[in-house]
């Protein structure tokens, strides 16, 4: 085969690849499900926790690639010092999944404290327990913990199965999804005196009020 023909063959195969890529993208297009309700409908009062919206720096809002976000401080009634910062971030294209605490906190100078890192299962009144990664980060004398989990909406059963395999990237490690995504981060500085029991209590209350907001076709993950 002449060199010219080989070049034409190579270019034809790769061009076909680009066409096939566009076709497969179109054929497997998902609706990228929207939230059923705005995140703002999450109540200000969650059991014994009372919330207050916090403004978000313009730059952080842009960086987060969120379609919609919620940034609140919840205080435990009767214990003003005990507070959690709730950051929820929805992206209709799943771009927010890139921004896990493991990527964003170190870039702010926080170092992971692996001895504080664990996975906790939050029991639910209905349905399976919700697994949450509890991560610890320190900067000089400051230590904060983060409860982290995320959802992917609209990926479908096959993708969900594959995402659970050890060969796939289950994390928000730079891979986007064909669906939409929501990340939930519950921050609490260690000096607030918040223990695991209070954290479980807050997340349990939060999960109950999140149900009406989230699309039905959803899968939950917790590995950052």
The contact mask relative to another protein for 126-155 (x = CB under 8 A, - = no) is: -----------------------------x
Asked whether position 109 contacts another protein by CB under 8 A, the answer is no
Which is nearest to 133 in space by CA: 149, 144, 145?
149
Which range binds another protein by CB under 8 A, 46-54, 112-120, 180-188, 203-211? Answer: 112-120
Which is nearest to 160 in space by CA: 172, 171, 148, 170?
170
Name residues contacting another protein, limited to 172-191 (CB under 8 A).
Answer: 173-175, 177-178
Which CB, 125 or 158, lies closer to another protein? 158
Asked whether position 212 contacts another protein by CB under 8 A, the answer is no
Which CB, 19 or 62, lies closer to another protein? 19
Q: Among residues 38, 40, 41, 168, which is the contact residue for another protein, using CB under 8 A?
A: 168
Asked if residue 203 lies in contact with residue 128, where contact means CB atoms within 8 angstroms, the answer is no
Exposed, middle or buried, 55 (CB in 10 Å: 0-12/13-18/19+)?
Answer: exposed
Asked if residue 33 lies in contact with residue 153, where contact means CB atoms within 8 angstroms, the answer is yes
Asked whether position 157 contacts another protein by CB under 8 A, the answer is no
Q: Among residues 72, 98, 145, 222, which is the contact residue for another protein, using CB under 8 A?
A: 98
Asked whether position 15 contacts another protein by CB under 8 A, the answer is yes
As a whole number of angstroms, the distance between CA 26 and CA 8 comes to 27
Task: Pick left, alpha or beta for residue 154 (phi over 0 → left; psi -120 to 50 → alpha; otherwise beta).
Answer: left
Task: State the first-to-last Cα distance of the chain, in angstroms, to the nearest integer.
Answer: 51
Asked whether position 54 contacts another protein by CB under 8 A, the answer is no
Query: Min. distance of Cβ 114 from another protein in angstroms?
Result: 4
């Amino acid at each position: 085969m002449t060199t010219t023909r080989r070049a034409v063959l190579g270019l034809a195969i790769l061009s076909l690849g680009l066409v096939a890529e566009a076709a497969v993208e179109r054929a497997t297009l998902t609706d990228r499900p929207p939230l059923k309700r705005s995140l703002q409908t999450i109540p200000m009062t969650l059991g014994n926790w009372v919330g207050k919206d916090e403004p978000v720096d313009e730059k952080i809002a842009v960086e987060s690639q969120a379609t919609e976000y919620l940034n609140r401080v919840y205080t435990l009634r009767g214990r003003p010092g005990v507070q959690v910062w709730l950051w929820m971030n929805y992206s209709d294209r799943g771009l927010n999944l890139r921004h896990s605490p493991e990527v964003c906190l170190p870039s702010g100078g926080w170092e992971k404290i692996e001895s504080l890192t664990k996975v906790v299962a939050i029991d639910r009144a209905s349905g399976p327990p919700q697994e949450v990664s509890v991560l610890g980060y320190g900067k000089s004398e400051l230590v904060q913990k983060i409860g982290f989990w995320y959802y992917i909406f609209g990926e479908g059963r096959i993708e969900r199965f594959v995402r659970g395999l050890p060969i796939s990237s289950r994390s928000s490690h730079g891979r986007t999804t064909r669906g939409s995504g929501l990340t939930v981060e519950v921050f609490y500085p260690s000096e607030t005196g918040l223990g695991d029991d209070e954290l479980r209590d807050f997340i349990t209350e939060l999960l109950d009020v999140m149900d009406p907001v989230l699309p039905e076709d959803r899968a939950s993950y917790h590995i950052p």
